[in-house]
Amino acid sequence: MIKAGIIGATGYAGAELVRILTQHKEVEIKWYGSRSYIDKKYASVYGNMFEIVEDTCLDDNMEELAKQVDVIFTATPQGFCASVMNDEILSQTKIVDLSADYRIKDVAVYEKWYGIEHKSPQYIEEAVYGLCEINREDVKKARLIANPGCYTTCSILTAYPLVKEGLIDTATLIVDAKSGTSGAGRGAKLPNLYCEVNENIKAYGVASHRHTPEIEEQLGYAAGKEIMINFTPHLVPMNRGILVTEYATLVKKPDGSLPTYEEIKAVYDKYYKDEKFVRVLEKDVLPETKWVEGSNYVDVNFKIDERTGRIIMMGALDNVVKGAAGQAVQNMNLMFGLKESEGLELVPMFP
């Protein structure tokens, strides 16, 4: 059995890790780390775990935890993992970090967009960006995973095949995204109170959201050049889900015509037909968050607008599963040579 520890086990992503790992045939959770609930029974924080998890919450002592487990999941705010990481920890255990601390390769870009000093930049180059569908072979060999977040996972996977094949003008790429409120975390914040969110939808982080450089960097690798995009997130009054709608100008064929539906569909199938967790929908069936809720699936599709010469790409996922905890477990499975979908064959919930 793989022994696992979770730091930040009482946040939404941490709780989803607990839900998934308690059903994983190859994993035993040894450490439920939570600075806010030390010495309290985990099931008293999350009543759904009554008579399922009997353990008590512990602290966030990474050095002690590293001696006891094979893998540590850090479902923590930006800056925590980077502040405690050291050679001794990495020599004893594998790390899957759900924060953004090691996602961006340029430390100056990270510090600019996140507004904090990076405490262990020496590990950035080693860290593997854990988007399994793109970096699977590197993930298998890694000891430190930068687990992508919800907006970035959905935004990247939705556009990746067309960017990789040079079928869109990346200078025209616009990403419009919507998220359920769990994406903001479990901490009490005025903008996330029920009366503030209910019966409302709003844009935020306009032209300044910190996931922008991450999307640009990863799609830039696919394109083989630097990319600059417009990324605008919105908060919608639902618990879970990410929906992205992306717009870009299609690159015309040598004869001046646009690529056909069949040609674009063939490109998506080229990259995703063998991917367990990316579902390319049938023609004219558009992604909806309700059809991926509670699962590790990403649903994607597209529509060609011949009138404008643009393509509309769409994607949907569950932000705390494929956008956080599910993706982390997918990475762990690869790191330990397990079946990639182990513990993750979760049928989407409806209603």
Express each pLDDT in 78-118 by its tens digit.
Answer: 999 999 999 999 999 999 999 999 999 999 999 999 999 99
- Give the pLDDT of residue 91: 98
Spatial contact of 275 and 160, defined as CB atoms under 8 Å apart: no
User: Mind telling me the catalytic residues?
Assistant: 150
Question: Could you tell me the pLDDT band of residue 196, with boundaries at 50, 70 and 90?
Answer: very high
Claim to verify: residue 74 and residue 53 sit in the same structural domain: yes
Question: Could you tell me the pLDDT band of residue 186, with boundaries at 50, 70 and 90?
Answer: confident
Distance CA 124, CA 107 (A): 8
Mean pLDDT throughout 294-312?
98
Claim to verify: residue 279 and residue 306 sit in the same structural domain: yes
Claim to verify: residue 306 and residue 164 sit in the same structural domain: yes
Bridge partners (DSSP) listed for residue 278: 298
**Of 178, 303, 289, nearest in space to 232 by CA:** 178
Longest dimension (CA), the chain: 69
Q: What domain count does the chain have?
A: 2
Claim to verify: residue 235 and residue 250 sit in the same structural domain: yes
18: domain CATH number is 3.40.50.720
Q: Show the domain range for 192.
A: 151-318
- The tens digit of pLDDT for each residue in 143-166 reads 999 999 999 999 999 999 999 999
Residue 341 lies in a domain: no
Claim to verify: residue 143 and residue 158 sit in the same structural domain: no
- The tens digit of pLDDT for each residue in 127-136 reads 999 999 999 9
Residue 136 lies in a domain: yes
Distance CA 116, CA 134 (A): 29
SS3 (DSSP) at 2: strand
pLDDT more than 70, % of the chain:
100
Claim to verify: residue 43 and residue 77 sit in the same structural domain: yes
Claim to verify: residue 101 and residue 235 sit in the same structural domain: no
